Every structure is written in C-alpha cells, then in structure tokens.
Structure 1
Amino acid sequence: MQNIPPKTIVFITGAFVGNNCWDEWRRYYGQKGYQTIAPAWPHKNASPEALRNSHPNPEIASIRLPALIDHYASMVKALPEKPILIGHSIGGLIVQLLLQEGLGALGIAIHSVPPQGIFTFKLSFLKAGWGPLGFFTSAQRTFLMSFKQWQYAFTNGMSPDEQKEAYYKFAIPESKLIVRDTITKAARIKFENPHAPLLLTSGSADHTIPASLNYANYRKYRHSNSVTDYKEFEGRNHFVLGQSTWKQDADYILEWIEKQAK
C-alpha cells in the first residue's frame, strides 16, 4: 500500500529577510495541491520596509533561538497532520531541531545554518558572519545589513539592479543574539537518533553558508539509520529562494518529497 504524503507545508524563514521571501514558493506549491503557511517570526509581522524603518528594534533584538523553536513547534503541533517542514538558513536549522522532536513528517533544510559543533574557517563564512554576530557591540540593538554587506552575504553574482531590488523587497534588521545562539547548545542535534526523512541542499556560490558546511552537516547523520539526502546546486548564493533558478530547486524538492511516499 502506497503511503500518502502530507499536503501541508510549513515554510520556516531564516534571518535577515522577511517571510515574504516564500511568496513565490507558496504560490507554486499551492498550484501543485499543497496547503502552505509561512509564519513570521515574533515581532516581525510587518513589511520589510516597516521593519527596516524600526531599526534599531529592541523587540527583534530580544529574539532567542529556544523561543523561536517553541514558536514554530506550537504552530506545528496545532496542525491536523504532521507537516512537511521547509526552512532556509536558520530556518533550515530549525527544521532539523523540530524533526529531532518528532514534529515533522519530512524536512528540507535549504542552505541550513549548521547545528552546534559544525564550523569552518573559510574566509567567506567568517566575513559574512562577523557583522551579524555583532561581537563588541550592544546585543540590545538589532543588526541591519548595509547594501554592501547584502551584496556579499546574500546576492553575490547577481546584477546590481537585482541586488538592489532584492534588498529593498526582503532585507530586515536582525537579532544578534539569535545568530550567537546557533553556536550554543540551543542548536545541538543528536545526529545518531532516528528522524523523519531529511534533505539538505546547498549552493556552490553561497558565501554565508558554504556548501562544505552543509555537506559536513549531512555527513553527521550517517549513523542515524534514517533517510538523509544531500544535493548541491551549482551557482546558488544565499539568496537562493529568490534567484532566477528558484523553480528548479523547488521542483527538485517536490520530486524528493513525492519519492518518500513510494
């Protein structure tokens, strides 16, 4: 008897961008018959422009990873079925943490921030992450990427006009504390434990989360005896959700989802 895949998808947003980054994905997956939601983070239920104008925003600055995990966990538990979880960046880390708690039927982590203990000294990673970590600056103030930082950390390889349009459409201020939390025990995964099927994807051009980090993350699951797959996409930067190639990625993920039901 063939398993029927769940038809609800929860999109989990990463840091530095509004949840409107999923709009095209939601429309596309909706056309494929899926019910989708992309809840905003706490204190971010406004347009990116309004959130930028609120910087420095003390409420956003106070966001911590454990509370954000609870925020999504409570939403998932309220659904009538275990959903498919799709997250980007810190959202990909949250997908892994929710699967660890048995809260998803399937999980897809797109260019995921790695769990605790997975690190690299690659220059692009250190350069992209130094400002958001905000060491030696007040954690009571949000961090807002400059356009120059955005060009390097998110939209490298795109035309200046595309970079500018993406910045004004999606960029928002962020909590320095939540970025710091990703290297603490709040981001700990017990890799050897069984988990629902998980797909990790990466991009060869991602400065913020180099593909080598995502591959190292994938390899950590090798003793779990659970379905864990990995795919690196050529030319994808950290703005992968909004690149012109996004539909190719979405199709690959959809094929992977439907394969799990066979």
Structure 2
Amino acid sequence: MKTILSKTIVFLTGAFVSHTGWKNWKNFFESQGYTCIVEPWPEKSGTPQYLRAKQPHDTALAGLHYADVLDHYTNIIKGLPEKPILIGHSLGGLTAQILLQRGLGQAAIAVHSVPPQGVTSFEFSFIRSLWKPLGLFSSLRKTHLMSFSEWQYAFTNGMSLQEQKESYEENTIPESRRVLRDPLGKIGHIDFSTAHAPLLFISGSADHIMPASLNYKNYMRYKKGNPHSVTEYKEFEGRNHYVLGLPTWREEASYALEFINKY
C-alpha cells in the first residue's frame, strides 16, 4: 500500500546559500504535478548581492538561531492543507530529519545532509571546510560570509574557475554562526530508535564539506536504530556539495522522484 500520497513539497535550504538554488528542482517537480514551496530563512529575504552588502554587520541575521529556522518551516508546514514531502540540502537535510521526527512530513529526502548531534567525521576535508564558518573563537555578533577560496574548497571543488566564480556570485550569502553551532547541541538530536516515515539519503563521492562517508554513517544510525522504518541511501559518483546546481542535478532529482513513487 502506497504511503506517500502528498503532492506538496517543501524545500529546505541549507546554510551559506540562497534559497534560489532550488530553482531546477522546483521546476522539475512542478512539471510532475507537485506544488512546490521554496521559502528563504528568516532574515534572508532578498538577493545574494543585497544580503552580501550587509556583511558582516547584519545584527538581525547574526542573532538568528537554528530553532528560529525550525520554527519558521514548522509554521509554513502547519499552514498547508496536507502534510508535505520534505526535501533538504546540507543543513536543510538535517532540518528535514528533525521535522520528519516531529511528524511533519510524509517522507523526507536529505541531500548531502548535515548530520545530527553525535554523528561526526574526522575526515580532513570536513574539518577544513567547517573550521572558519563555525568560528569557535569568533564573535557571534557578526555573520560569516564564505570567502571565494572557502567556497571553492567546500562547495565547488572540481569545477572550472569560471563556474566557481559564477556560482559564488549567484548563490553565496552571509550566515549566522549561531545557526551553525546550534545543531551541535540538543536541538540537533535525533532519536534513531523512533519509527519514521520513508527517508532517503543522497550523497556525493566528491563532497568535501559533507563527505559521503558521513552521510552513510548518518544513514546507518537510522538502519540500526529502527530497521523496520524505510531508510535508503544512494551515493552519486563525482558530485560535490554544489550538487543542486551541477549539470547532473536532474539525476538526483529523478532518483528522489523514484523514491517518492515507490512508497
């Protein structure tokens, strides 16, 4: 019996980037008959260029907590006529996991997801990518904007210089360090033993900031915690963290659609 009956998708954006990065996936799923909702985080309305111009003294964004992001999406979902499918990238992937645990989705797809509390990696690329953004010795009163070199390493490794420059200009926005640090604590906790709606993890073998091995570890915690719930994992070869904007984006989107149709 099919359990995923929703025709509504809520896309959950990650850190450092504009919500406009979902445009390809939004158009794809709308062509398949879905109603797609793509909303920015609180304090992130506006173009990347506008938001970057406020760096680093955007006190409203600097004061944003991850709980505010979760509450924002919760309010959107509770205002819908049906429980949606949740699709999140990076920190949006963790948001999908948490909202699914709270019973707010018929299914969730976590794309190159940030892991929950207690699931971590000691891979060099993971540590190098997050050291500056987390800024453990930096002020929480200022936002963090990834430098171009940080963007090259963490998001767009393997791409041409021109592609990296264009993607940086089109996508990067300042980030609240509070939002980045909060999931390390209680708010990022997942009870892996709790039954959940169908959940798919998608990873990429070339992702520096959220390595495939970390996504697989995240997936396995669910499989071991509750083997009776539907949890699947798919790794795509050669994909970096800019997966939503790569020329191959349709392969991941199509795989996500297949998962939804299967259940």
Judge same fold: TM > 0.5, yes or no: yes
Q: Who is 2:37 aligned against?
A: 37
Q: Who is 1:250 aligned against?
A: 253
CA deviation vs aligned residue, 1:156-202 (integer Å, no higher than 9, x gap): 00111110000000000001111111211110000000011000111
Amino acid at match of 2:245: G
Q: Secondary structure at the match of 1:108?
A: strand
Structure 1 ranges of 4+ moved more than 2 A: 1-5
Shift of the alpha carbon at 1:72?
0.6
Distance 1:106 1:169 in 2: 30
CA contact (8 A) 2:59 2:141 kept: yes
Shift of the alpha carbon at 1:5?
2.2
Q: Secondary structure at the match of 1:5?
A: coil
Amino acid at match of 2:90: S
Q: Secondary structure at the match of 1:216?
A: helix
Amino acid at match of 1:146: S
Q: Secondary structure at the match of 1:199?
A: strand
CA contact (8 A) 1:13 1:90 kept: yes
Q: Who is 1:166 aligned against?
A: 167
Distance 1:119 1:235 in 2: 22
Shift of the alpha carbon at 1:63?
1.3
TM alignment of 1:1-262, pairs within 5 A: 5-56=5-56, 57-222=58-223, 223-224=225-226, 225-260=228-263
Distance 1:110 1:251 in 2: 13
- Contiguous gaps of at least 5 residues in structure 2: none
Distance 1:217 1:136 in 2: 28
Q: Secondary structure at the match of 2:184?
A: coil
Amino acid at match of 2:93: G
CA deviation vs aligned residue, 1:193-225 (integer Å, no higher than 9, x gap): 001100011110000000111100001112312
Distance 1:132 1:75, change over 3 A: same
CA contact (8 A) 1:5 1:258 kept: no
Distance 1:3 1:211, change over 3 A: closer
Amino acid at match of 1:187: G
Shift of the alpha carbon at 1:2?
5.2
Distance 1:2 1:191, change over 3 A: closer
**Percent of aligned positions with the same letter in both sequences?**
54
CA contact (8 A) 2:4 2:260 kept: no
Amino acid at match of 1:7: K
Distance 2:5 2:80 in 1: 15
CA contact (8 A) 1:9 1:34 kept: yes
Q: Give the number of equivalent residue pairs.
A: 260
Q: Secondary structure at the match of 2:24?
A: helix
Distance 1:253 1:7 in 2: 14
CA RMSD of aligned residues (A): 1.0
Q: Which range is displaced more, 66-75 or 82-91?
A: 66-75
